[in-house]
Structure formats: C-alpha cells, structure tokens
Amino acid sequence: MTSSSSRGTEFYFHLAVVVIGVIGTAANALILYALVASKQHKKHLLIVNQNALDLFSCIFLVVTYSVKLCNIVLSGWLGYWLCKLILTEVILWWGIVGSTINLATITIERYIKVVHNYKLRNWMIYSAIAFAWIGSIVYMAILVFLTSTVINGVCYIFMFKDKSGQLIYFFWHFAFSYVIILLIFIICYGRILLVIRRQAKIMYSHNAASANTATTQSNQIQTNVIKTMILVTDFLRSCGYRPISMA
C-alpha cells in the first residue's frame, strides 16, 4: 500500500511539473515574441538571453518529466543515453545554471551602468551570453557524466567514488548557489540604491522647486530595484538552487 501510494504521489507530482513547464514555455515564448515584435531585442540582449534560457529550461522540463512519467526500463545504448541526457536532468540544468549566470551578469551590468556610468560594449555582452551557455553546458556535462550510471534498468546520479568528492561538490555547490550569487545581488543592488539616493539629494539641493518630483521618481526607482531583488531571491530559492534529483 505504501509503495502504491508513493508511486501515485510521484505520478501526480511529475504531471504537475509538466503542466508548470508548459505554462512557463508559453509565457517565455510570448515574452520573446513581444521583444522581437517591438524591435527591442537588439537593445536588451541580456534580457533576451535570459528569456531564451528560461524557455530552454521550460521546454526540457516538459520533456524530462514526460519521460519520467513513462517509467521506462533502461537497457542498451538507448537506455544509457536516455539516462545521461534526460533522466539525470542534465539538459534541463544547462538552462537553469545558464539562467543563473546570466541573471548575475544582468545585475553586474546594471551596477556598472548606474554606479560607474559605463555602458558595456557589445563584444562584452556577447561574451557574457556565450559564457552563460558554454559554462553551464561544460560544468553540468562533466558533473553528470562522471557521477551517473544505470543499474538494473534504473538511472542513478551523484554516485561519487568516495566521500571526499561528495564533500567537495557539496561545498562548491553551496558556495556558488548561495554565497557567491547572493553576495553579487546584495552588493550590486545595495550600491545602486545608495547611488540613486545620493543623486536624489543632489537634485533636491540644486532645484528645490522640482524636489518633490525628483523624490517621487527616486522612490519609484528604489521600489523597482527592491522588487527586482525580491524576485531574484525568490527565483534562487524556488527553482534555481536545489540539488539535482536522482532519477
């Protein structure tokens, strides 16, 4: 009874994930279409890349959990590659890790633009976009292909040879997923808020008549920045940073 109940719960969980993936795919595709239709895609390359990575993740979220719904017994070369590429969620995590890197890049780009009044050149932005894709693919491919295996028709991941390798991965994952990324968000958006407040004070001292308007605009900008920080934190907590599940 317990085993049957567990399989039923797992089935409905996977089905719910597929539905979420379909909704996410439609939403990100719509945003990309809107950016292209409004001819804003060339002006906001990092934002376009962010949506492209999220769209990629949503598509393979649907593919991965649709395959898991089938409960396929793995055998031969087909079973081997199905485990390595789909059931380990490696392709899905190419998009998630790349999306996280790109999100940090957007934060740094805004920090440089607002705090240092410097606009990144196109080659820098294209390099950052390429790094988000290539870096995530190389990192996840090496990790998953070295630690995944098929045993008795079942796909397993994180099969480390010894505890030292497992500890190294745990500390690296924790440092990258929480410490480094969150520090980037906190420091960059914190400095942005300080610069906005300082600019508002300067505007107030130079033009007392328009002080109310300047203050209102400053408060609105600060509110937008805070909202962005909250959304980023929620994104990290809810979808970007959980260990890859065993298939």
Give the pLDDT of residue 40. 84
| Four-CA torsion 109, 115, 119, 122, nearest 10 degrees | -20
For 192: left if phi > 0, alpha if psi spans -120 to 50, otherwise beta; the answer is alpha
Please report the pLDDT score of residue 246 as a whole number: 37
- pLDDT on residue 60: 95
Which residues does the chain have with pLDDT short of 70? 1-6, 204-247
239 in helix, strand or coil? helix
Enumerate the domain spans of the chain: 2-240
Q: Write down the pLDDT at residue 239.
A: 44
pTM of the model: 0.78
CA 72/CA 87 separation, integer angstroms: 10
The token pair at 33 is 């279409």
Residue 117: predicted pLDDT: 87
Please, is 216 exposed, middle or buried when counting C-beta atoms within 10 Å of its C-beta (0-12, 13-18, 19+)?
Answer: exposed
Q: 2-240 has which fold?
A: Rhopdopsin 7-helix transmembrane proteins (1.20.1070)
